[in-house]
Amino acid sequence: MSAISPVLSLLLAFASAALLCWRFIAPDSLFHVLDHPGDRSLHHRATPRSGGVAIVIAILSGWAVALVTDALALNEMLAWSSGGVVLLAAVGAVDDRFDLSPLKRLLAQVLAAFLLLGAGLVPERLQLPGLALSMPCWLAFGFTLLFVLWMTNLYNFMDGMDGFAGGMAVAGFGVMAWLGWRGGDAGFALASLMVASACAGFLLFNFPPARIFMGDAGSPVLGYLAAAFMLQAQRENLFPLWIGVLIFSPFIVDATYTLLRRLLAGKRVWQAHREHVYQRLVQSGWSHRRTVSWSYLLMLAVGGSAVMALNLKPAVQWSILLFWMLGYLAIILLTGRRE
């Protein structure tokens, strides 16, 4: 394998995502599907929402070139997750144009999740700092299914502000790539970095003020891939699942807190809304750019702490987790006070 092959694959993912986004912005493009603002939107003008199609094409193209040039070796995770990516992207693209029912979207997500189960990405035990809790087979399968479904949906829930979901993907998959490389798995690192590279190309047109959105063809795919890479990392002993959850905790905490808050208020959790912490910050007067810039700092800080925590003693790891629990609680309380 030539040393330049991984670089070319990454450049292809970045460039193809950027070029396709540029093309989809044009009104004469087949994928020029507009997202019209509504009562629950943060944007104020109709904007194309087909950036996810560009991201998916860029990721799969980069992976394909890397496989052909032997920069990547085909494994079960890549093979099965690629099928799930295609399925979710196709259903999402149709949903962006025709508004599918939540049940139809959920059925597609369940099928995609079962593809990861078929790849064997089912943890035999739940790892926490200093602990390894064994799970019976039925519980492990149920846990994995719910985890993949929640990651798939929460990423879709959180895709509601310019530059937000793309930035989390660049930071999250970039950190996982670093951990994979540090753990000696260059293939995992390259495949993960390819996702970050494609999302970076998309961000050229999505950073505030956005000229294109990710749409349902992109955000569920990124959540799905985040779950797949976390499960693969645990199986290959690159890092435990809780490290991956910490890396993506800016999205996981906001989405989970908002869901529980709406459930307790008796609201329909599947309906669109503007109650996420980041949305409340924008509505309280922060600009999109200010909110997303501070979010990037949070993502980098969390990712950096995850990298440092990996090889520390369990007591220190628990201290880091407690620090972020208190930090997120402070963010939630301060947001409410600002409102």
The reported pLDDT for the residue numbered 319 is 97
Distance between CA atoms of 309 and 116, rounded to whole angstroms? 27
Specify the pTM.
0.95
The reported pLDDT for the residue numbered 43 is 59
Distance between CA atoms of 123 and 141, rounded to whole angstroms? 8
The reported pLDDT for the residue numbered 338 is 83
Q: What is the mean pLDDT of the chain?
A: 92
pLDDT per residue over 57-106, tens digit each? 999 999 999 998 888 887 888 999 999 999 999 999 999 888 888 899 99
Q: Where are the alpha helices (DSSP H) in the chain?
A: 5-25, 51-68, 76-98, 102-118, 137-158, 164-182, 186-206, 219-235, 241-247, 249-264, 277-283, 288-309, 314-338
- Please indicate whether residue 127 or residue 224 has the higher confidence score (pLDDT): 224
pLDDT per residue over 163-213, tens digit each? 999 999 999 999 999 999 999 999 999 999 999 999 999 999 999 999 999
Domain-wise residue ranges, the chain? 5-244
